[in-house]
Structure formats: C-alpha cells, structure tokens
Amino acid sequence: MTRLLEWLGRGFLGLLLAFLYLPLVIMGVMSFNRSPFYQLPIDWSTTWYSQLFANAQLMSATWNSVTIAVTTTIIATALGTAASIALFRNEFPGKRILQVLLFPPIAIPWLITGTAMLVFFFWVGIGRGPHAILLGHVALALPYVIVVVSARLQTFDPQLEEAARSLGANQWQVTRRITLPWIMPGVIAGALFAFAVSFDQFVVSYFLATPGQATLPVEIYAAIRKGFTPEINAVSTIIVVISMALMLLTARFFSFGGER
C-alpha cells in the first residue's frame, strides 16, 4: 500500500508539472514554427523573432512594461522594506489594524481596484498615462513586499540589534550591517513579487494606459482581438526564458527555504 501511494503521489506530481509547464513548452516550440497556422510537422525557423524585433508597436509596449516593472520594483521594495522594519521595531496605536489593512488590496479583484484607481486619479487630477500606471503598480505591489519582508523579520532576533547598539553602532549601522543582511532573502523575494505583479498587470494598466503608451499585456490583448500572430509566442518565450533564468540565479545565491 505504501509503495502504491508513493507511485500515485509521483504520478500526481508529474501530471501537475505537465499541466503547468507543457503549455509553455508548446508555446516555445511553436514560436519557431514558420507556419502561422501551426501546421505539423514543424518547419523550424526564426521568422517570428525577426518580425517581433521589427514590430515597433510590440517592442515599445515591451519596453514600457520593463521600465514600469523595474521602477515599480525599486520603489515598492524600498518603501515596503522600510515599512516592514518600522512595523517590526515600533509599537503604536492602530498598528494591528494597519497590518490587517495590508491584505485587502491583495484579495480585492483587480477589476474593482482598477476602476477605483481610474476614478480616483481623475478626481485628484492625476489622469491617465505612464505616471498613473506606475502609481497604480506601486500601490498593488507594496502589500506583497511588506508581507514577505515582515514574514522574514519574524525569524529575526531583536537582541542582535541590541547587542550592536551596546557596542556603539548607530541606528543606520545596525540596519545596514545587522538587519538588512538577515532579511535580504525576504527583500529579494518581495522584489520578485513586485516585478511579477507589475509586469503581468493587465487590468490596472488597461484602465490607466493612454494610446501609444500601452504595456505588453494590454498590447497582447489588443493583438489577440485583431487576430493572434506567432510574434506573441516569440515575445512570450523570451520573457519566460529570462524570468526562469532570473529565478534560477536568485535561488542559486539566496537560500529562501533556509538551510538544514
């Protein structure tokens, strides 16, 4: 019975991995198929990659997404890490309520959030455009960073900071030499969450984008409505390869799960 359960578990894991990764593999393979109708056998070619780099509209949308995602990651990671450390070190009235209020933005459907942001930004005079998209993405990514970094801080011993202060270190030296090195895996994980949330964000970007300033998800949606082209397979394959390489490099240099 134990052997049977073990094989069933392995089979279920195999099916789960296939369900997750098989569509990505097929998409990558089809991005090298010369036929726009996915005819088999595959006629191997890099035609769609050449057309992708010649597609100014799609490349502009990709650059917009990368720029906004990187900027969002930097801002959200810096603000979220600082907020997490402040919440960890200080006790003040309403702290628990503030921590609880971090979760609704994660749970609320992005359709509602995007609509609310559109109305609010027009009400305060911000309007639409890349600056509005950036503000929206930072607001969405910030709770993820705070939650992840705060979880890492729960394993931190405050006595380490007290020991550093007793040896003459000021607050900045304590943060830079004691606290930040300890929570760095959480900071990196939070930054990856922020980048993924921003780069993959469609609803908020769709509501706040202006003509000619669309992000990649919005541009892909518009392209699919007009008629799907394998250029989208090509750009998606490039993004998947870069993302997986980034994750592998990060996992190589940072121990997220701890050490046994």
Q: Which residue has the tokens 């004691």?
A: 178
Residue 68's closest CA among 219, 187, 184?
Answer: 219
* Rounded-to-integer distance, Cα 143 and Cα 171, Å: 25
Cis bond before residue 41 (omega within 30° of 0): yes
Question: Angle 180-199/130-153 helices, nearest 10 degrees?
Answer: 140
What is the model's pLDDT at position 75? Answer: 92
Structure confidence by residue, pLDDT tens digits, 29-55: 887 887 777 777 777 877 778 877 877
pLDDT value of position 71: 92
Q: pTM of the entire structure?
A: 0.78
What SS3 class is residue 33?
Answer: strand
Find residue 33's DSSP bridge partners.
44
* Kind and range of the H or E run holding 193: helix 180-199
Give residues with Cβ within 8 angstroms of 157, minimum separation 6.
none
Under-70 pLDDT residues of the chain:
1, 226-228, 250-260
The CATH class for the domain spanning 62-253 reads: mainly alpha
pLDDT at 260: 42
Summarised one tens digit per residue, pLDDT across range 130-157 is: 888 888 889 888 888 888 888 888 887 7
